[in-house]
């Protein structure tokens, strides 16, 4: 099976890579729901400890969907304004390094916002049982050590608010998988995990 990719490079010398990457993932998310597909994954070839990098590659076995995604209004406008350079569609070469970019929701639970959501849930449960909830008795009982990750802010149209998309990188041995991704192009879907090339 052939894999194809297109790379978007953020051209401004000074820009917020995480903000631009988040917008690209938001466009992919909308595209996936509009066309009822999950065939396109994302790769961050310049991922480092400091930044997600100024490049994002879209990878797929479906060349037509890949080309259609990069013709969405946002991408074409950013190219016209010289904010983005968008590569031609290319075949993924042999010998690439493979990784998985995965959303890690457990990170959300360790944040102050996650702890506030947990306290709210516990309060609601206590009230449903007819008991009073004492917030002072609620405390985090565990120390959480978080591995390196990047956090992108996304907007949720269904919930009418924003949330953090916390992404971690995992090394993989091969490209083996079923070529399905999450709606944000990440490797982990409900029952599968699809590695992608760092390209």
Strand partners, 9: 55, 85
Q: Indicate whether 154 pLDDT > 60.
A: yes
Would you state the pLDDT for residue 26? 96
Q: Is 164 helix (H, G, I), strand (E, B) or coil?
A: strand
**What does the alpha-carbon distance between residue 82 and residue 129 come to, in Å, rounded to a whole number?**
59
Pairing of strands 40-43, 90-91: unpaired
pLDDT in tens, 55-112: 999 999 999 999 999 999 999 999 999 999 999 999 999 999 999 999 886 666 666 6
Determine the average pLDDT of the residues in 151-170: 78
Residue whose token pair is 């070839």:
45
Q: Indicate whether 185 pLDDT > 90.
A: yes
| Cβ pair 6, 70 in contact under 8 A | yes
| Cβ pair 32, 40 in contact under 8 A | yes
Q: Indicate whether 45 pLDDT > 90.
A: yes
Task: State the pTM of this model.
Answer: 0.81
């Amino acid at each position: 099976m052939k894999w194809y990719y297109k790379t978007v490079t953020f051209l401004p010398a000074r820009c917020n890579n995480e903000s631009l990457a988040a917008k690209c993932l938001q466009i992919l998310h909308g595209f996936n729901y509009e066309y009822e597909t999950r065939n396109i994954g994302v790769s961050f070839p310049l991922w480092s400890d400091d930044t997600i990098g100024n490049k994002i590659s879209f990878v797929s076995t479906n060349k037509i969907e890949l080309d259609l995604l990069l013709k969405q209004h946002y991408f074409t406008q950013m190219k016209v304004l010289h904010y983005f350079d968008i590569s031609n569609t290319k075949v993924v070469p042999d010998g690439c390094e493979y990784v998985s970019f995965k959303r890690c929701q457990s990170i959300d639970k360790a944040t102050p916002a996650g702890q506030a959501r947990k306290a709210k849930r516990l309060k609601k449960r206590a009230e449903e049982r007819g008991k009073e909830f004492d917030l002072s008795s609620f405390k985090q009982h565990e120390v959480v050590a978080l591995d390196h990750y990047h956090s992108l802010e996304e907007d949720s149209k269904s919930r009418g608010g924003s949330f953090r998309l916390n992404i971690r990188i995992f090394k993989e041995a091969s490209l083996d998988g079923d070529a399905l991704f999450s709606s944000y192009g990440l490797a982990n879907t409900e029952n599968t995990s699809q590695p992608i090339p760092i390209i």
